[in-house]
Structure 1
């Protein structure tokens, strides 16, 4: 018998993303860093992301539309359309209002969405193409989006990043959900879910979805762009995915696939996309610092999220023992730098807004590792000729371990009692050429 309560619940459920579409995980891709990509490069990146269980790319596009943006959008969709049926992957757009030549013109947004929104490769929620932004929450822009939504046949599923307004800073009537850029900590604190919880508490009563950001780190040294700061991110690749299991957002966005200048890339290093000018030379801290090993933990982390969000999804299971480890190669106090701890006002960070901290107050001089184990194992981490730190009885599944530098220098060695072992570049007392580099080495040993 259909009770009144059941009827109400059924009606409310119609306004939520379906469980098949929710619990999707995307990676943020800066189109501006893909100039020179061809279909083959897009295909390679898409297959790599899909291999590690990422469901799609959020393509960040900035003005002007003509040029790199229009060319690369076309090539990305061509690559998706040419994929074999066995590869399930989608694209969706995030309109950048702070980069490029300024705010988007309504006509261009409408043109783009009419072109790509109906494409089978585009990600849809409840039959509508999902659309996001990077900022742009001024009153005039909000009115623009109301007009844009009404100009797209069937409308859009609108999940903007208007983080600068904060939760409750705009009416939930304007959106279908929200994405928060608050995914790094402030000062010498670990990243928390305080901001996420505020967004969820505001969105949930209105039956709106939340897209949560996950990022492994943040370090930039690009004076030409008024950017030279670092946020604590030492254990964030572990901590943030654990927080996803607490918050259980409808969507997760990994920031980023390819922002090399801010060091939070998890995709392959594409050298033409790395800033390289005398005053904006990210190659100095990106070359030799691949982050692709972080992808190795994703199948388990994504499966854990999807299972927790919807228990009918398979529980995560580790297929092969592996250890993914990362670290900086020198103490935070070593080397010359104008980088600040936090985005605070300085000679370079002209628009800084946070309290300044010494870099050494923010960063932790340690080696960090995620151990994926098929059964109970013992792990070791050592530096140079020093005694190894031993981690006994790690459990089957996912484990996090770390050990401090403790003043030791030399090559980093890791091992598992099940046979996996690896060796990483040496930790040194002073960086090469005396210039500090706060980027992380990321490596994988074992069944990688």
Structure 2
């Protein structure tokens, strides 16, 4: 968001207001603003962060913000906290401003310990993400959680900056970290993320089965009774873990192709999360008031080689790491008020699912061509919706990204 705002680098306060409005409409209470630089190295990070704080202030809706320091910004924590700690929209815990990070542990964990002391001297609450050392991993296990607690005994809590993983990996790491840090009387902020596909030298991905992995992460965070969750995206749009709307579901252009020749909407991940956001906040699953479905699929089969980086043909054509684990399926998540039947017509393939009231996740192998979703109850068609994009056997412009769309009974959109 700070690196790459939806409306471009020249985004105004009004543009950021719209982003906040979209978030609050979906039950989100605040933004964690990851900043890879600050005043001394990349001052646009500070300038944009200030604009976002001003947008929240002008809206007057109580939207909260905090900085997640990253890279060079880790060396300007004093200015970050002193600049924003008195702002009305600064997120506070027990009256103190919260600061988080991506990384910053440093060699032999020395920088991370010094950073913890500095944040406390400045009057802040520190909930960083540090890699466990010497056993560095993206998917911490129990031994890593114990190692982190030994290495950084004075942190106020811990954040798992997880995005590169499947639902089992991320929810399991969330669980072991939550038990360790909450058990030690500290804060824990869990990661909830939609999908990951990297770029260039990091061209890899993880199958998340549409919304199923994200639902598993939500359910795990609720089960573990974590106090905070962050909807995590890496590198804004560039690594396909984004959630923010950038247009209609059919739209595919953003930033003049800077992030690839074909962007795909992920808003369905965000909208499907609303059920779990309400559950997380209230402590009980919300009543389902209307029939909704959310569909997810890639636009080409996994065997199709694609350009590794759409901006640099020198990388050539390839399959991303992890592609062998992909399923050439269409995935649907439904929130149903009563039992119903879902008919998926995927190219020349067709299947009917008989579903109960509540939350349902279904899938089937996809077929090349148009995708159609029909919801029927008592022989009455409640939803008849065509996916905004067909599946192609040969067109790899979407580069293994997932597309998500949605429909509501009697008002498909």
Normalising to structure 1: TM-score of the pair? Answer: 0.76
Pick aligned residue for 2:198 from 220, 233, 242: 220
CA distance in 2, matches of 1:43, 1:164: 37
CA distance in 1, matches of 2:194, 2:86: 33
Residue 103 of structure 1 and its aligned partner are, at CA, apart by: 5.7
C-alpha contact (below 8 Å) 1:322/1:372 kept by paired residues: yes
C-alpha contact (below 8 Å) 1:178/1:211 kept by paired residues: yes
CA distance in 2, matches of 1:177, 1:275: 40
Pick aligned residue for 1:254 from 231, 248, 272: 231
Question: What residue number does 2:353 align with?
Answer: 391
CA distance in 2, matches of 1:417, 1:272: 34
C-alpha contact (below 8 Å) 2:38/2:73 kept by paired residues: no
C-alpha contact (below 8 Å) 2:195/2:207 kept by paired residues: yes
Residue 441 of structure 1 and its aligned partner are, at CA, apart by: 1.3
C-alpha contact (below 8 Å) 2:70/2:101 kept by paired residues: yes
Pick aligned residue for 1:371 from 331, 334, 346: 334
Residue 445 of structure 1 and its aligned partner are, at CA, apart by: 1.1
Deviations 1:204-251 (A, max 9, x none): 232012111111100122x3xx32221222332333223223323211
SS at match of 2:280: helix
SS at match of 2:242: coil
Change (3 A) 1:366 1:93: same
Q: Does 1:201 align with 2:179?
A: yes
SS at match of 1:77: helix
CA distance in 1, matches of 2:84, 2:45: 13
Residue 194 of structure 1 and its aligned partner are, at CA, apart by: 2.7
SS at match of 1:94: strand
How many residue pairs align between the two structures?
A: 373
Pick aligned residue for 2:260 from 283, 297, 301: 283
C-alpha contact (below 8 Å) 2:127/2:158 kept by paired residues: yes
C-alpha contact (below 8 Å) 1:96/1:134 kept by paired residues: yes
CA distance in 2, matches of 1:89, 1:398: 29
Q: Which structure 1 segments of 5+ residues have no match? A: 1-29, 340-346, 349-355
CA distance in 2, matches of 1:137, 1:49: 31
Change (3 A) 1:366 1:210: same
CA distance in 1, matches of 2:168, 2:303: 20
Pick aligned residue for 1:264 from 223, 241, 257: 241
Question: What residue number does 1:12 align with?
Answer: none
Q: Which structure 2 segments of 5+ residues have no match? A: 134-143
Normalising to structure 2: TM-score of the pair? Answer: 0.82
CA distance in 1, matches of 2:234, 2:177: 24
Question: What residue number does 1:10 align with?
Answer: none
Question: What residue number does 2:157 align with?
Answer: 177
Deviations 1:422-444 (A, max 9, x none): 11122222225xx6710111111
CA distance in 2, matches of 1:93, 1:183: 18
What RMSD, in angstroms, separates the aligned Cα atoms of the two structures?
A: 2.7
SS at match of 2:245: coil
Farther off after superposition, 211-220 or 423-432: 423-432
Change (3 A) 1:32 1:393: closer
CA distance in 1, matches of 2:328, 2:290: 29
Pick aligned residue for 1:236 from 189, 209, 213: 213
Q: Does 1:53 align with 2:51?
A: no
Change (3 A) 1:357 1:283: closer
SS at match of 2:279: helix
Q: Does 1:37 align with 2:11?
A: yes
Change (3 A) 1:384 1:366: same
C-alpha contact (below 8 Å) 1:179/1:213 kept by paired residues: yes
Residue 119 of structure 1 and its aligned partner are, at CA, apart by: 1.4
CA distance in 2, matches of 1:199, 1:275: 40
Question: What residue number does 2:70 align with?
Answer: 96
Question: What residue number does 2:111 align with?
Answer: 141
Q: Does 1:403 align with 2:350?
A: no
Residue 374 of structure 1 and its aligned partner are, at CA, apart by: 2.2
C-alpha contact (below 8 Å) 1:177/1:209 kept by paired residues: yes
List structure 1 segments (4+ residues) > 4 angstroms apart after TM superposition. 270-276, 356-359
Change (3 A) 1:183 1:259: closer
SS at match of 1:31: coil
C-alpha contact (below 8 Å) 1:274/1:283 kept by paired residues: no
Deviations 1:116-160 (A, max 9, x none): 1121211111111111000111134224324422432xx211110
Q: Does 1:245 align with 2:222?
A: yes
Residue 88 of structure 1 and its aligned partner are, at CA, apart by: 3.3
